[in-house]
Amino acid sequence: MIPEAAKSKLIELLGNRGYLDRPEDLVLYEYDGSVDKHRPDMVVFPRSTEDVVAIVKIANEYNLPFVGRGAGTGLSGGAIPRAGGLMISFSRMNRILEIDLENERAVVEPGVVNLDISLAVQAQKYFYAPDPSSQRACTIGGNVAENAGGPHTLAYGVTTNHVMGLEAVLPDGSVITTGGKGPDCPGYDLTGLLTGSEGTMALVTKIIVRLMRQPEVVKTILAIYDSAEDAGATVAEITAQGITPVAVEMLDGVMLGMVEEATQAGYPMDAAAVLLIELEGLREAVEEQVEQIRAACTACRAREFRVAKSAEERELLWKGRKNAFGAVGRVSPFYYVQDGVVPRTQIAPTLRYIQEVSERYGLTISNIFHAGDGNMHPIILFDARKPGDLEKAQRAGEDILRFCVSVGGSITGEHGVGMEKMELMSDLFSDDSLEMIARLKRLFDPDCRLNPGKMLPTGRGCMEIRQKPLVPGSFVY
Amino acid sequence: MCEMVMRSLTPSTPEELAEGLAAAAAAGRRIRLGGAFSKSSMGGPISDADVCVSTQNLNRLRQYEPRDLTISVEAGMPWRELQNLLAENKQMLPLDPPFASQATVGGVVAANTSGPRRRQYGGVRDFVIGMTFATLEGKLIQTGGMVVKNVAGLDMGKLMIGSYGTLAAIATVNFKVIPAPARSLSFCRRFETVDEVFNARDEILRSVLQPSAIDILNPAAAERIGQEGWLLLLRAGGNAALLDRYARELSGFETIEGEAETALWQSIQEFTPAFLDDYPLGTVVRVSSSLQQMKLLAGTLSVPLVARAGTGVGYAHFTKPEEAGEWASRSKGQEWKCVIDFAPESHKEYLMLWPDPGPELATMQRIKQMFDPNNLLNKGRLHGRI
């Protein structure tokens, strides 16, 4: 609960339209793209860094926990207020402050939608590279918090490779700036430390991002397979040949059916798997790579190899890919997306294991993922109205992630640990390593008010929230 | 290498490294930490120490599956050995750091050194996917892993990159690696004025060309490699048709290939070490600036400047430490930042090596305090401030 005195101070600061506290409004802020839920006691909408500083100071004065939130598209519960309290929504700090093409930089506020940066510079033939599937909605602030990825990060790198500097409000209300427009700024790389800290160490209020020149040529290829393992083997073959596509996405047969029914993008309905491969660069390089990829796909028994003939055809294929989660929603009201990563040579065995898990739990599991960098997204379909089904889905997800770890991989490639995979962190890291993460968190947030109860296993974080995540939340929709 | 007068430790496993650090720290001993100590003239002054710890015997390959495009090595592995291992599999880690023939992997990472091709491929922070480091408490801390995409836990490796060993000792490093291009071709063009050379650079930046390196040398720097005027140097990798395309589009440039190309980039990569060999009082200022600011800065310098003109890092080579100090102090309050990267040991005490740290220094000091509360480890090596 927010004390009345704190509430009045916040209202005085932000005005009558600068907050939400009615239950029917708060319910919209209790979830993100994952399955966990918890309701904030109040949502506040700062318009400036000064507002954020003032909010944080009020939160400290009244000992309130607080959590930053962008668009709420996250997939690990990063923006869910586990301990209640204040939610600081950055949706009104959504200005692109500066577009500086001759320096290949933009300076943006955290509430700017990812895709809007690329749209703002596309006429000048530039783009912002990290492209999470939710890029039409998700915000840069959230991307920085989670170190977001996307299909094209295979060649261009993830968010941390494109963030040059930050302005951030620390949990004590002080403001720091890190990095700058140039690289290699003196001192420790605080920008790199804060990027991917899942909103647990600072609230980012300004971001300097790198812009890139659009490539001359883009070719999009669809390779169609009668066996998912052959598709997986192709990825290893492409790597072995030294070919460097900018994206290699895989969709399995279950997913193809759902995507095609939703989008009519031209995906085959009867295939076991497809690879969606994109090549970018100068014409001479791309033309050669198309032939190299064709050879690799053929060697791995692809039954068909199509190169998109037009921009429209290309965009339709990508629309199908990026709207895949929406397509799943049409078929199954509940689904659980995982985010394991494996070394590229382990993709085919991992697919086999996922099939076993599917059979063991009697749950349909569909695969759509960034195959090029081994980042798997098995989507587990379940029915939350059936008692025990959610728990089964969560156990299946954990089995898959443990397998990823056992073959040298990780429990999350781009979605974050959040409150969803906290307990699995012990599978990946030693106690000493987890303790070091906790100490760094406490260094920034000694009172543990910023986004508590995330990233570290229960008992290892700085504040104990002993209850399990509240699933499936207050309502079953 | 560690001097004979000091107690020296050369652990050969990460565990021994951690134990050695813990024992020294527990006894309140001041620790000098390094790999091959090839960059002792870099960073802040070398403080007196009671113990010298070198990772030179911690030099094994831990894991390398070329088809995964990842490699894991111990920190003391010679940089050259790592390059050779990758080259055998037609792969590379195109960081091009100076002192490459003596440096260790850990030293390259701890000093965050890089070179010309970072325009296309990025710097150390873009290649490190995982790390183990040993703390003064004797703990081995893991961060990241062996996959190219991984957001599990804080990215603590970022703190170690460029930390000059002031926080902990890097024990192992995991990198993502890149397939080496089939062929390489380089291009050089001479210009009369700073405006001309940077305008030509701007044209390249706006074009669809994607050179791996875009370096500018001012006339004083050009002279040191046997050239004259303002030089714009480009490098491209790929198949024959692609390189023909570069040659066509860059028709005003001289093309450089084969041994001449290797020699050219070798002289650029080792420009600073060669300069320091020639000038015992040589002092090198590293500038981080925007691409356009780099042009304005270049115009104010008559000493040799090597600018990573497509990236925003520049290295100004002064023969007089005082002049370097004066020039570096101009960065105060500016958007561009600089540090004195190399200076004679005798001058480091009074030169402001890091003139304008900004308020974030306080946060950095708290991090140092957490790792090393008694300031025992590589004291002052982070440009005299930490």
Q: Indicate the pLDDT class of residue A468, thresholds 50, 70 and 90.
A: very low
Smallest CA–CA distance, residue B94 to chain A, in Å, is 15
Average pLDDT over residues A30-52: 94
Domain definitions of chain A by residue range:
4-89, 96-213, 217-325, 332-406
Torsion angles phi and psi, residue B161, rounded to 5: -70, 120
What is the third-level CATH fold of A96-213?
Answer: 3.30.465
Estimate the crossing angle of helix A49-61 against helix A4-14, to 10 degrees: 170
Q: Indicate the pLDDT class of residue A459, thresholds 50, 70 and 90.
A: confident
Do the Cβ atoms of A343 and B149 come within 8 Å?
Answer: no
Question: Which of the residues A102, A188, A201, A404 would you substitute to probe the B interface, choosing the one with the greatest number of B C-beta atoms within 10 Å?
Answer: A188
Residues of A in contact with B338 (CB under 8 A): 186
Do the Cβ atoms of A288 and B70 come within 8 Å?
Answer: no
pLDDT digits (tens, 9 = 90+) for A191-232: 999 999 999 999 999 999 999 999 999 999 999 999 998 999
A78-87, A233-242, B136-145, range with the lowest pLDDT: A233-242
Predicted local distance difference test score (pLDDT) of residue A472:
39
Residues of A in contact with B205 (CB under 8 A): 102, 104, 213
Burial environment of residue B306 by CB neighbours within 10 A (0 to 12, 13 to 18, 19 or more): buried
Do the Cβ atoms of B126 and A161 come within 8 Å?
Answer: yes
> What DSSP character marks residue B267?
H
- A161 in contact with chain B, both atoms CB, cutoff 8 A: yes
Cα B92 to Cα B78: distance, rounded to the nearest angstrom: 15
- B203 in contact with chain A, both atoms CB, cutoff 8 A: no
Cα A26 to Cα A29: distance, rounded to the nearest angstrom: 5
Say which of B140, B202, B366 has its CB closest to residue A102: B202
Cα B278 to Cα B235: distance, rounded to the nearest angstrom: 27
Predicted local distance difference test score (pLDDT) of residue A461:
77
Residues of A in contact with B354 (CB under 8 A): 186-187
pLDDT digits (tens, 9 = 90+) for A323-351: 888 888 888 888 888 999 999 999 989 99
- B183 in contact with chain A, both atoms CB, cutoff 8 A: no
CATH code for the domain defined by A332-406: 3.30.1370.10
HEC profile for B180-228? CCCEEEEEEEEECCHHHHHHHHHHHHHCCCCCCEEEEECHHHHHHCCCC
Q: What ipTM was estimated for this complex?
A: 0.97
Between residues 371 and 430 of chain A, which touch chain B (CB distance below 8 Å)?
A: 373-375, 408-417, 421, 425, 428-430
Predicted local distance difference test score (pLDDT) of residue B262:
97
A19-20 vs A42-44, strand pairing mode: antiparallel
- % of chain A with per-residue pLDDT over 70: 97
Predicted local distance difference test score (pLDDT) of residue A329:
84
Q: Select from 3.90.960.10, 3.30.70.2190, 3.90.70.10, 3.40.190.10 the CATH code of A217-325.
A: 3.30.70.2190
Do the Cβ atoms of A343 and B146 come within 8 Å?
Answer: yes
Do the Cβ atoms of B151 and A412 come within 8 Å?
Answer: yes
A55-59, A154-158, B77-81, range with the lowest pLDDT: A154-158
Predicted local distance difference test score (pLDDT) of residue A409:
97
Minimal-distance CA residue of chain B relative to A375: B149
Between residues 4 and 43 of chain B, which touch chain A (CB distance below 8 Å)?
A: none
Q: Residue B24: what residue type?
A: A
Query: Is-same-fold flag (B1-179; B183-348)?
Result: no
| β partners of residue B339 | B286
- Domain B1-179: which CATH class? alpha beta
pLDDT digits (tens, 9 = 90+) for A124-142: 999 999 999 999 999 999 9
Predicted local distance difference test score (pLDDT) of residue B312:
97
pLDDT digits (tens, 9 = 90+) for A354-411: 999 999 999 999 998 899 999 999 999 999 899 999 899 999 999 999 999 999 999 9
Predicted local distance difference test score (pLDDT) of residue A473:
34
Domain definitions of chain B by residue range:
1-179, 183-348
Q: Residue A391: what residue type?
A: E
Average pLDDT over residues A115-122: 98
Predicted local distance difference test score (pLDDT) of residue B83:
98
State which residues of chain B have pLDDT below 50.
none
What is the third-level CATH fold of A4-89?
Answer: 3.30.43
Question: Which of the residues B68, B136, B151, B296 would you substitute to probe the A interface, choosing the one with the greatest number of A C-beta atoms within 10 Å?
Answer: B151
- A158 in contact with chain B, both atoms CB, cutoff 8 A: yes
| β partners of residue B234 | B187, B214
pLDDT at A476 over 60: no
Cα B145 to Cα B148: distance, rounded to the nearest angstrom: 8
- A196 in contact with chain B, both atoms CB, cutoff 8 A: yes
Which has the higher per-residue pLDDT, A463 or A313? A313
Sheet holding B183-191, edge to edge: B254-256, B183-191, B230-238, B213-217, B305-308, B313-318, B283-288, B337-342
Cα A256 to Cα A275: distance, rounded to the nearest angstrom: 11
What is the third-level CATH fold of B183-348?
Answer: Vanillyl-alcohol Oxidase; Chain A, domain 3 (3.40.462)
Question: What are the Cα distances from residue B306, in Å, to A280, A439, B276, B351?
Answer: 31, 40, 14, 22
Cβ atoms within 10 A of the Cβ of B370, count?
A: 15
Angle at B237 between CA B233 and CA B241, to 5 degrees: 110
Smallest CA–CA distance, residue A24 to chain B, in Å, is 34
Question: Which of the residues B149, B160, B284, B377 would you substitute to probe the A interface, choosing the one with the greatest number of A C-beta atoms within 10 Å?
Answer: B149
Mean pLDDT for chain A overall: 93
Say which of B149, B357, B383 has its CB closest to residue A158: B149
